[in-house]
Structure 1
Amino acid sequence: MKKMVITLLSLTIAGSMLAACTNKAESDTTEQVLRIASAFGNDEDFIREQYTQLFELANENIKVEVITTENIGGKSIEDPSDPDGSKVKSSLDIMMDLMEGPNPPDVVLLGAEQIKAILSKNLLAPLDAQINKTKFDTTDIVPLVLESLKSFSEDGQLYALSPTFNSSALIYNKQMFIDAGVTDLPRDNMTWDEVFALAKRLTHGDGADHKYGISLSSQSNDGMLYELQPYIQPLQLHMYDELGEKMTVDTPQWQDAITTLSQLQKDKIIPSGDNPPKGPLDYDDFLSGRVAMAIVNYGQLEQLNNANKNADAIKGYTKIDWDTVTVPSFPEAPGVVANIGFNSLMAINAKSTNLETAWKFLEFSNGEKWAQLKSHSTYQMVARKKYIQPQLGIDFNIAAFYNNIKQAPMFDNNKLYREKTNIWVIDQIGQNILQDIITNKKSVKEALVEWETKGNLVLQKIKENPNAEIDPSLYQSDDPNNQAPGVHWGG
């Protein structure tokens, strides 16, 4: 029944969108072609369903051509530096070739990890003039979103819009506070020290009954290296410099951060990821009831809601009474948090000869009616604050995901991972030495010195030959379970 109501609502809104555009477009009878290129690697049907179908219905004289980097696959674009065709181009390289090619796309759909590289080549048109000309309303766009979009460029102008976004919050289990006898619930705008002090009070029990105070990722099996990210990214601590030539971990700032988090893990306030799964939800520290608080992504709430909805059918699961507050921050960087995500950035190619139509698409896809239609998404939020609403009508502090927080400066290491394919070894070395700290094999200082030394050997080897094989003794661990997560961890 609920799905039917949502479908009817979608059709009603879509109908009103079409009606609003019909009179305006009556005089626009000349057929136009709008070329939209996607760097997401999705197929054309997905792009049309997610981004272009409603626009085409509302603008019958505009024909949308969709180009995806997946369709090209790096095979139809010749690379002069690779005459034998052995090197497969990345989706970003393919996109930039398309944008500078003889028949360039008008609109490009990008990920946040790609836009800076494209901006560095001056391939995007600034949007401020079109925003002012059409009086496009940006006042209802979440400030976090608008400021994050501006931060992508060095001149502070808008070069892209995003109809949706994702972020994180601190979730807490109310019953676990009661069980621990703690009456002070988390609140918005807490510092990390305040949250860690609260987590210590929530930690109790022995063996299989032990309850942890907090998890920084809710899935501690990813390893400490990954769990560090929300804590150290606001401090702008990186493993190596922007060129990927010199390690930067043997510093007092790194030592303070690692000392704090490793001690929390030694004191069993933070889980170590060595809990053997016993039930269907044991992969998640929060859903399993092991931790009282955890940093979660907005999209993870769907798992929690589904678990609560089906609690009677899940063996060993007790429905969780929960709420959220903002992710904690540092006094020297109040409100600055990590894990703000954009996976649907829309921008205009600077070489487009169809600027007005391209802007019409951005204006439509980032407008109020579109936000109203897409506001029922369960894995991301719409950028227009008016239409952000809790999933399934559940009453919780959804503003914790976007209010009074700012995006931590991002370390763009994607170019390094493309050009220096073995730089991932630095992650694995870090995972190994962090584990040595937890098991008291090394002091924090000793471990960071070793990470710095081994890392510099790897970086020098890669500098001499980007595809050089790395000596396994530098990064292999005696523990087969001690593997770095398969993600790019932000340099």
Structure 2
Amino acid sequence: MGTTPRMKAGTTIRKASAIILSVGLLTTVLAACSKGSGDSGTDRRVLRVGFLYSNSDNEQYQRQQFTDGYELMHPDIDIEIAAAINYDDQRFEEPSKDPKKPTKQPDPYEKMKELLVGKNPVDVIVLESSYLKRAVQDNLLKQLDPLIQESKFDVEDFVPTVINGIKDAGDGNLYALTPTFNASALFYNKKLFTDAGVPVPTDKMEWNAIFDLAKRVAKGEGKNRKFGFSFNRWSGDPFYDTQNYSAPLQLKIYDNKGEKMTVDTPQWAKVWKDVLGLYKDKVVPTQTDMNAINEGDNANGKERSYNPFQGDMFLGGHVAMMIGGYDYINELSRAKEYSTKNKNIPSVDWDVVTIPTFTEVPDVGGNIYLSNLMAINAKAQNSKDAWDFIQFNNSKEWAKLKSRSTYEMVARKSFLKPKDGMTYNIAAFYTLKPVPPQDLDMDKLYRDKPGIGQVTQLGQPLFQAVLDGKKTVEQALKEWQTQGDAALQKIKDNPNPTDNPNIGISSQGFGG
């Protein structure tokens, strides 16, 4: 799905916070520099570190986040940053004026491959988990297990979910390490469960059990309604909730060639019925419900009171359970702190458990992101320093400093502790296995056929028709299958979305 303004704002805040954090971290490192082994009189060496994306502005952030500390501790090494894709190249490139020859988007994997096998290859590549398996299969990376054994580098302290996720991409071997990761969990409001006389959720519950709890705790009408569950902090689109919900099942809308729909199945029907039931029974809030609650303060002529968390249904005490990221703890912490100073700011008594699972994939819960995987190029010219660089960034000492971050989690268990003396079930964020990354064939499909996202959107009005009682689930999925097959054929004949304005919906904006 596309990036929302909130997601973009969150990314900006995280990057700004990371830069501030890095300044503090490097101050600590500077104090230790006099103890470093570097000798200004020795021959200087170059270590080339590659990233998937960068530009002149972003390089500063990447240096502060990944390389400055290492350079300070190793004054005989100069680090060069290289990018597979330079944001500026796309920003300043003039779009094609020929609709039949649109500006071709670069293939991130192929551009990364150029960094690894080109004339001046990088020594270290920082990549996302979605590209790791393919890079291993293409023999682009150096296996780390022998280096780990030879160096006696401790990986036993790493979160098993992180290590196992990396091993899954390497057929049981390690080809990368990551110092940090991001994850989500199921937040719940203790008071709402107590008031309803319903037991609180626990770790590793299945979705049907969570939905049962949600239905039992939901009660009230109008602006006083207490909802049982939400798929996120903000009211979402019920149709896209079905895709987020079903992610661990890895159901596909169309085949890897983008030629045949795959939605008219019992599996998709069950997913739709599960989510539809939540909305029909008012277990999950709609945008209309949110508007009614947000306007509640204006009832009877009352002036709206200031609330910086306006619209946050969980913090406002309107939702009993909600899926949220690790960084949401910052919001909950700030709300509690400032609620003592401003009675209009809400605060909740909360905890977290693992994201619910499916019977078909009992240990997969979803939202764990490995985006800073560090690997050694199989053709590295300076593999010795490359391994030293990876050890440094994944060391216990560096984990201790990075554990101060409020937006990401460190991969070492010994430094994973609740923030600021709080008590909550932090293991909920890393107990389950992550959803496997999207098939690389699908990534290529989206690049080769940029209009194919419209086929996904064809399901949205059909889902709404079911929600409005105008169609059955089976009828809607069959129509989506038929309409989608016709649209896929048009796209096959002409992949350019500019020339396909009438495949079934408006061509404004393409979903993934």
TM-score by length of 1: 0.87
TM-score by length of 2: 0.83
1:375 alignment counterpart: 403
2:368 alignment counterpart: 340
Q: CA deviation at 1:344?
A: 1.1
2:240 alignment counterpart: 226
1:303 alignment counterpart: 331
1:480 alignment counterpart: none
2:191 alignment counterpart: 175
1:96 alignment counterpart: 113
Q: CA deviation at 1:88?
A: 4.5
2:11 alignment counterpart: none
Quick one: structure 1 residues 315 and 200, their matched pair in 2 at CA, closer, same or farther if it must change by over 3 Å?
same
Answer yes or no: is the 8 Å Cα contact 1:417–1:423 preserved in 2. yes
Paired letter, 1:433: L
Paired letter, 1:418: R
**Residues 312-368 of structure 1 deviation map (CA, whole Å, 9 limit, x = unaligned):** 566743211110011111233222111211221111222211111111111111111
- 2:161 corresponds to 1:144: yes
Answer yes or no: is the 8 Å Cα contact 1:328–1:335 preserved in 2. no
Q: CA deviation at 1:85?
A: 10
Q: Quote the Cα distance in structure 2 between the aligned partners of 1:461 and 1:329.
A: 37
Q: What does 1:233-244 correspond to in 2, within 5 Å?
A: 233-244=247-258
- 2:270 corresponds to 1:256: yes
Answer yes or no: is the 8 Å Cα contact 1:230–1:339 preserved in 2. no
Q: Quote the Cα distance in structure 1 between the aligned partners of 2:41 and 2:433.
A: 42
Quick one: structure 1 residues 392 and 355, their matched pair in 2 at CA, closer, same or farther if it must change by over 3 Å?
same
Quick one: structure 1 residues 200 and 20, their matched pair in 2 at CA, closer, same or farther if it must change by over 3 Å?
farther
Give the alignment partner of residue 411 of structure 1, picking from 433, 438, 463: 438
- 2:315 corresponds to 1:284: no
Q: Secondary structure at the match of 1:291?
A: coil
1:30 alignment counterpart: 43
Q: CA deviation at 1:99?
A: 2.1
Identity %: 41
Q: Secondary structure at the match of 1:36?
A: strand
> CA RMSD of the aligned region, Å?
2.9
Q: Quote the Cα distance in structure 1 between the aligned partners of 2:102 and 2:264.
A: 41
Quick one: structure 1 residues 108 and 114, their matched pair in 2 at CA, closer, same or farther if it must change by over 3 Å?
same
Q: Quote the Cα distance in structure 2 between the aligned partners of 1:71 and 1:462.
A: 28
Q: Quote the Cα distance in structure 1 between the aligned partners of 2:142 and 2:41.
A: 24
1:400 alignment counterpart: 428
**Residues 416-474 of structure 1 deviation map (CA, whole Å, 9 limit, x = unaligned):** 22221112112311222222221112111111111212222222222222214334461
Q: Quote the Cα distance in structure 2 between the aligned partners of 1:353 and 1:310.
A: 53
Give structure 2 stretches of 5+ with no counterpart.
1-20, 296-306
1:421 alignment counterpart: 450
Q: Quote the Cα distance in structure 2 between the aligned partners of 1:428 and 1:73.
A: 30
1:3 alignment counterpart: none
Q: Quote the Cα distance in structure 1 between the aligned partners of 2:88 and 2:239.
A: 35
Q: Secondary structure at the match of 1:156?
A: coil
Quick one: structure 1 residues 315 and 110, their matched pair in 2 at CA, closer, same or farther if it must change by over 3 Å?
farther
Paired letter, 2:489: Q
Q: Quote the Cα distance in structure 2 between the aligned partners of 1:300 and 1:393.
A: 16
**Residues 170-190 of structure 1 deviation map (CA, whole Å, 9 limit, x = unaligned):** 1001121233233x1111121
- Once structures 1 and 2 are overlaid, which stretch shifts more, 65-74 or 161-170? 65-74
Q: Quote the Cα distance in structure 2 between the aligned partners of 1:316 and 1:446.
A: 47
1:324 alignment counterpart: 352
1:188 alignment counterpart: 203
Q: CA deviation at 1:211?
A: 1.2
Give the alignment partner of residue 432 of structure 1, picking from 461, 469, 480: 461
Q: CA deviation at 1:73?
A: 2.4
Q: What does 1:41-52 correspond to in 2, within 5 Å?
A: 41=54, 43-52=58-67
Q: CA deviation at 1:70?
A: 2.5
2:302 alignment counterpart: none
Quick one: structure 1 residues 383 and 19, their matched pair in 2 at CA, closer, same or farther if it must change by over 3 Å?
farther
Q: CA deviation at 1:305?
A: 2.0
Give the alignment partner of residue 124 of structure 1, picking from 132, 141, 148: 141
1:106 alignment counterpart: 123
Give the alignment partner of residue 211 of structure 1, picking from 214, 226, 229: 226
- Once structures 1 and 2 are overlaid, which stretch shifts more, 276-285 or 141-150? 276-285
Q: Quote the Cα distance in structure 2 between the aligned partners of 1:231 and 1:300.
A: 20
Give the alignment partner of residue 505 of structure 2, picking from 464, 471, 475: 475
Paired letter, 1:215: S
**Residues 116-150 of structure 1 deviation map (CA, whole Å, 9 limit, x = unaligned):** 45445432222222222212111000000001112
Quick one: structure 1 residues 75 and 233, their matched pair in 2 at CA, closer, same or farther if it must change by over 3 Å?
closer
Answer yes or no: is the 8 Å Cα contact 1:75–1:88 preserved in 2. no
1:63 alignment counterpart: 78
Q: Quote the Cα distance in structure 2 between the aligned partners of 1:259 and 1:280.
A: 36
Q: Quote the Cα distance in structure 1 between the aligned partners of 2:264 and 2:150.
A: 51
Quick one: structure 1 residues 105 and 72, their matched pair in 2 at CA, closer, same or farther if it must change by over 3 Å?
farther
1:162 alignment counterpart: 178
Answer yes or no: is the 8 Å Cα contact 1:36–1:105 preserved in 2. yes
Quick one: structure 1 residues 171 and 359, their matched pair in 2 at CA, closer, same or farther if it must change by over 3 Å?
same
